[in-house]
Amino acid sequence: MRGLRIAALLTMAGAMMAAYSLHTPAKVGARPDRTRFDAAVIKNAAQMLDQGRHTFRFDTFGDQDFWGGTLQLHKALEGSQFGGVGPGVSPATALAVGLKVDVDALPPSLIAALRAGQVNLSSPATTLALLKQNAVLGVTGYFKPDGSLRSMGIQCALCHSTVDKSFSAPGIPPGNIGHRLDGWANRDLNVGAIVSLAPNLQPVADLLQVDVPTVKTVLASWGPGKFDAELFMDGKAFRPDGKSAATLIPPAFGLAGVNLHTWTGWGSVPYWNAFVANLEMHGKGTFFDPRLDDAAQFPVAARNHFGHVNNQPDLITGKLPALHFYQLSIPAPAPPEGSFDEAAAKRGDELFSGKAQCTTCHTEPLWTEPGWDLHTGQEICIDNFQADRAPDHRYRTSPLNGLWTHAKGGFYHDGRFATLLDVVNHYDSCFNLGLSTQEKSDLVQYLKSLPAKE
């Protein structure tokens, strides 16, 4: 009896305390976790971050049915020695086409062997061992009991992450194996060369209504750091000047507060994530965009009903909230100490919002417009080819934080400007800015300094 009464009293006290904590207004100096709802928000944020990171790094959304099942890419990876086809992909080849290895996924014994130069970098068996450790960024191998590959799939991390330069070993220069840097554009990655290895490209050829050699020519035209997300919508592989229609892989960091995404403003981050997961990676989910029914602008997409994708079970949609949240949480990294001239950058800051008029579009601190962040080619003195491949026929004002991480491959959507000075020279003539050599160089130093340290 007595025990019961105490228990009841304790329950009451608990309920009163909970009610108190729910209803007391915020007080200066109060505990930050004072209300349950605040605590629930913080807990939710932490969970979303974890889930989103996991999806970004490891989720294939079931796309192994396409990359392995249909294209048979896993067979080219392992080579005939392991029941696949061809010579197989050695770690040396894999690193040469820009694939990156997560040092934190490697067992200490393997790290030691790599450091001692005792690992065979020309054997596909080593690639298989790395895949077994889940150590290759953005690539997942599915294994048979006998150790050969059954299938393979890809993740967001393939194109939108790289590794730092902390690790090197004989035959492995820094920047190939290291700690993950999520959100960084992998400008070493040769997507075209990798896809081209697939033993069965016929389905891609059928989709584009061309033959396999044509598909291979197109894939070979992309080069490192580029991919053509619009090819599978409009079938346009080359620009009118004969150059590849592929665009650079942009970073997926520093995007919080930015309205429209991609070089040409297709939509928001969750829009584009659903687009890519369904239509580019060939994961299994749901996607709706009747703009793709326009057979004049998007003949391939309209023919294949890409604006009306409905897969059951849906392996994508449920993961979009956390994936969105994670991407918005990745900050644009500050430039390394000593990588730019601080005094010049300070002068460049004044010019950026003054004489050079850059802030009319690149509004601080988003470095793009709050609101509708799109412009025609004419407004920035370039052609409209790529803009016309997107629903709004415009280019999105690029957010400029972290430019220093993706200088390789050049600037603007297709890398047409090799250096930041080339970009500044372009604006100087486009807008008749009358910048002196010194002023141009100050602007470049400023661009290299973004994001400014807090």
Name the residues that contact ligand HEC, by CB under 6 A.
154, 156, 158-160, 191, 227, 229-230, 247, 249-250, 252, 255, 261-264, 269, 272-273, 276-277, 281, 323, 327, 356-358, 360-362, 375, 379-380, 395, 397-398, 400, 403, 411-413, 420, 423-424, 427, 443, 447
Closest CA to 288 of 266, 321, 310, 269: 310
Q: How many CB atoms lie within 10 A of CB 144?
A: 11
Residue 141: CB partners within 8 Å, gap ≥ 6?
74, 77, 128, 131, 132, 149, 151, 152
**Min CB(298)–ligand HEC separation in Å:** 13
**Min CB(146)–ligand HEC separation in Å:** 29
Position 452, amino acid: A
**Min CB(249)–ligand HEC separation in Å:** 5
Position 404, amino acid: W
Residue 167 vs 232, nearer CB to ligand HEC: 232
Give the whole-angstrom CA distance, residue 411 versus residue 409.
7
Residue 326: CB partners within 8 Å, gap ≥ 6?
48, 49, 51, 52, 53, 55, 56, 182
209 dihedral zone (left: phi>0; alpha: psi -120 to 50; beta): left
Write out the two tokens for 160. 């939108």
**Min CB(299)–ligand HEC separation in Å:** 17
**Min CB(64)–ligand HEC separation in Å:** 14
Residue 428: CB partners within 8 Å, gap ≥ 6?
434, 435, 440
Q: Determine whether 142 is exposed, middle or buried from the number of CB atoms within 10 Å of its CB (0-12, 13-18, 19+).
A: middle
**Min CB(441)–ligand HEC separation in Å:** 12
**Min CB(33)–ligand HEC separation in Å:** 31
Contact assessment for residue 110 and residue 119, using Cβ atoms and an 8 Å cutoff? yes
Contact assessment for residue 175 and residue 182, using Cβ atoms and an 8 Å cutoff? no
Angstrom CA distances, 407 to 188, 194, 207, 416, stand at 11, 22, 34, 12
Closest CA to 97 of 149, 155, 130, 137: 137
Residue 129 vs 185, nearer CB to ligand HEC: 185
Instruction: Name the one residue in this structure whose structure tokens are 């793709």.
Output: 292
Residue 158 vs 172, nearer CB to ligand HEC: 158
Closest CA to 99 of 141, 140, 137, 142: 137
Rg of the chain over CA atoms, in angstroms? 25
Angstrom CA distances, 48 to 23, 36, 255, 267, 326, stand at 27, 18, 17, 22, 7
Residue 126 vs 405, nearer CB to ligand HEC: 405
